[in-house]
Structure 1
Amino acid sequence: MSNQELVHAYRHLLRWSLRAVQFSKPARFVVRDTLRAAFRDKNGTFEPSRVKSTLWFLESAATYVGVEHKIIKNLVHVRYIQNKSTGPWRIRAQTLSKSQQRALKDPVYEKEYEHFDKTIAMLNDTMNLCLR
């Protein structure tokens, strides 16, 4: 795994992800931030076969409005809501009411995305993808 392979994989994934979300304004920032976090992860592994199949999946999502596009759309929407509730404190203070801020400290809300993350992990395993 060379540095050049990582850069090419990042650029290709970013390009096809942006095409899959059709460059829409909140979605492109979610895609960018998620991809950055994935490539900056110290425990992450680089598997070219998974990157290649993910690129095919994203290309299909960008080309046709089918199941792949709906999966990407829902994935980005959930990550947007998740990041909105755990974003910087200034943004949280401006967008969430006090009752919503108190509710975020509840232990139930700490595990609300656990089932979704497991579903994405199973999708990644069955289709040999690397979606986050």
Structure 2
Amino acid sequence: MADLKVIHAYRHLYRGLLHAVQFSKPSRYIAQAQLRTAFREEGATFDTRSIARTVRFLEAATRTSGLEHSVLKNLLMTAYFRHYHGNRTWKHVQLNVKQMKNKKDQEHVRRTAYKHYDMTVAMLNKSMGLCLR
């Protein structure tokens, strides 16, 4: 029975994501990849309340192009540039890295460029009870 709940949760989230991004080509593939990795992750817990809240969040992103739609759009765009253009970073980060003489500092900036972003998404999930990536 637990497997059936997981399958239904996956389908509801995937359908909600497709409707929220209006089936646009780069966004739907990114959303699909992130959803797959989230459900295949070892040690992940299944929380029906957070999944239901996330589905409601996606439904709100589908209805209007308001705050929810903007948040989802920015999450997917950041995921695209993070994973598909991994060696490219933000323009201001690149300029600062080029100015650094030390290779250790350059690698530190490249590794920690998304740290604040990840912490912000984690706090958004915690405060709203969502399960966004």
- Place the TM-score, normalised by the shorter chain, in its bin: 0.7 to 0.9
Q: How much has 1:84 moved relative to structure 2?
A: 1.2
Structure 2: distance between partners of 1:31 and 1:39? 12
Deviation at 1:43, TM superposition (A): 1.9
Deviations 1:25-53 (A, max 9, x none): 10000000000000000121100000000
1:114 aligned residue: 115
**TM-score normalized with structure 2 length:** 0.83
Distance 1:45 1:85 in 2: 30
Distance 1:78 1:7 in 2: 27
Gaps of 5+ in 1: 87-91
- Which residue matches 2:124? 123
Which runs of 5 or more structure 2 residues have no equivalent in the other structure?
A: 89-93, 99-105
Q: Deviations over 1:85-108 (max 9, x none)?
A: 34xxxxx7xx9xxxx8xx8x8221
- The residue type paired with residue 48 of structure 2 is P
Corresponding position of 2:77: 77
How big is each residue's C-alpha offset from its partner over 1:58-87, in whole Å with a ceiling of 9 and x where there is no partner?
Answer: 00001111000000000000000001134x
Alpha-carbon distance in 1 for matches of 2:112, 2:19: 31
* Structure 2 letter corresponding to 1:121: A
One-letter code of the match for 1:66?
A: G
Query: TM-score by structure 1 length?
Result: 0.84
Partner of 1:89: none
Paired with 1:64 and 1:111, the residues of 2 have a C-alpha distance of 34
The list of structure 1 runs, each at least 4 consecutive aligned residues, that deviate by more than 6 angstroms after superposition, is none
Distance in 2, Cα, partners of 1:131 & 1:114: 16
Q: Any idea what SS the aligned residue of 1:106 has?
A: helix
Question: 1: CA distance between counterparts of 2:83 and 2:18?
Answer: 18
2:91 maps to none
Q: Percent identity?
A: 43
Larger Rg: 2
Amino acid corresponding to residue 122 of structure 1 in structure 2 = M
